Amino acid sequence: MTLKRKSVGQQNANKDTGFTETENTIIDQLETKKKTKHVEKSSEGGAKVGKMFKKKKAQVEDETETPDPVVKKKRKLAEPVEEMETENKQHKEKKSDDAKENNDLTGFALRVPKPKQIDNKPKVQKSAKTETKTPVNKKFQREMANNLKVERKKKENESRYDLSIKAKKIWEELRREDTPKDRALAISAELFSLVKGHTKELVFAHDTARVVECLFGAASQDIRQALFTELKSHTINLAKSQYGHFYLIKVLRNGNREQRDAVIQSLSGRVVELMKHKIASKVVELAYNDWANASQRAMLSQEFYGPEFKLFKDEGITTLAMALKKYPNKKESFLKFMSQSIAPIIAKGVFNHSLLHRLTHEYLSNCNVKERSEMIANLREAVAQVLHTRDGARIGMLCLWHGNNKDRKAIIKSFKGLVTKICQEEHGHMVLMAIFDCVDDTKFVAKSIVSEITSHWKDIAFHETGRKVIMYLLSGRNQTYTHPQVLEILKQGDGNEYTKKDPATRQSELIEWASPAFLDCITAEPEVWLKDSRHCLLLATILKYCVGQGLSTAFQAVASVVGQLLDQDIRNMFSSENEKVQYWVEQSAVHMCLKKLIQHDKVRSGEPYFSQALIDNVDEETVKGWLGCNRGAFLLVNMMETDIASVKAAVEEKLKNLRKYLQRQKNKGADLLDSKLTNF
Nearest to 474 by CA among 461, 463, 486: 461
Distance in angstroms (rounded) separating the CA atoms of residues 223 and 310: 33
Nearest to 118 by CA among 161, 163, 76: 76
Give residue 663's pLDDT.
Answer: 83
Q: What is the pLDDT of residues 599-644, one digit of tens each?
A: 998 888 888 899 999 888 888 888 888 888 888 888 888 888 888 8
Instruction: Please report which helix (H) or strand (E) contains residue 187, including its range.
Output: helix 181-195
Range of the structural domain that residue 397 is part of: 368-524
User: Are 550 and 623 found together in one domain?
Assistant: yes
For residue 448, is pLDDT > 50?
A: yes
Domain for residue 652, yes or no? yes
Distance in angstroms (rounded) separating the CA atoms of residues 454 and 300: 43
Domain for residue 136, yes or no? no
For residue 1, is pLDDT > 90?
A: no
CATH no. for residue 432? Answer: 1.25.10.10
User: Are 484 and 378 found together in one domain?
Assistant: yes
User: Are 540 and 670 found together in one domain?
Assistant: yes
The residue from 493, 524, 555 where one domain ends is 524
Domain for residue 353, yes or no? no
Domain for residue 482, yes or no? yes
User: Are 636 and 531 found together in one domain?
Assistant: yes
pLDDT class of 576 with cuts at 50, 70, 90: low
Distance in angstroms (rounded) separating the CA atoms of residues 219 and 350: 34
Q: What is the pLDDT of residues 514-568, one digit of tens each?
A: 999 999 999 998 888 988 888 888 999 999 999 988 899 999 999 998 888 777 7
Distance in angstroms (rounded) separating the CA atoms of residues 26 and 229: 94
User: Are 84 and 46 found together in one domain?
Assistant: yes
User: Are 467 and 481 found together in one domain?
Assistant: yes
Q: What is the mean pLDDT of residues 183-210?
A: 92
Nearest-5° Cα angle at 603, 598 to 609: 45
Give residue 18's pLDDT.
Answer: 58
User: Are 89 and 178 found together in one domain?
Assistant: no
Q: What is the mean pLDDT of residues 433-449?
A: 94
For residue 90, is pLDDT > 90?
A: no
Number of domains in the chain: 4
Close Cβ partners of 508 (under 8 Å, ≥ 6 residues apart): none
User: Are 571 and 669 found together in one domain?
Assistant: yes
Distance in angstroms (rounded) separating the CA atoms of residues 597 and 594: 5
User: Are 564 and 647 found together in one domain?
Assistant: yes
Q: What is the mean pLDDT of residues 233-261?
A: 94
User: Are 507 and 629 found together in one domain?
Assistant: no
Domain for residue 631, yes or no? yes
For residue 427, is pLDDT > 80?
A: yes
Give residue 155's pLDDT.
Answer: 58
User: Are 514 and 380 found together in one domain?
Assistant: yes
Q: What is the mean pLDDT of residues 392-401?
A: 94
Distance in angstroms (rounded) separating the CA atoms of residues 584 and 594: 10
Q: What is the mean pLDDT of residues 7-28?
A: 59
Nearest to 433 by CA among 465, 392, 385: 465
Distance in angstroms (rounded) separating the CA atoms of residues 525 and 529: 7
SS (H, E, C) 527-586: HHHHHCHHHHHHHHHHHHHCCCCHHHHHHHHHHHHHCCECCHHHHHHHCCCCCCCCEHHH
User: Are 503 and 568 found together in one domain?
Assistant: no
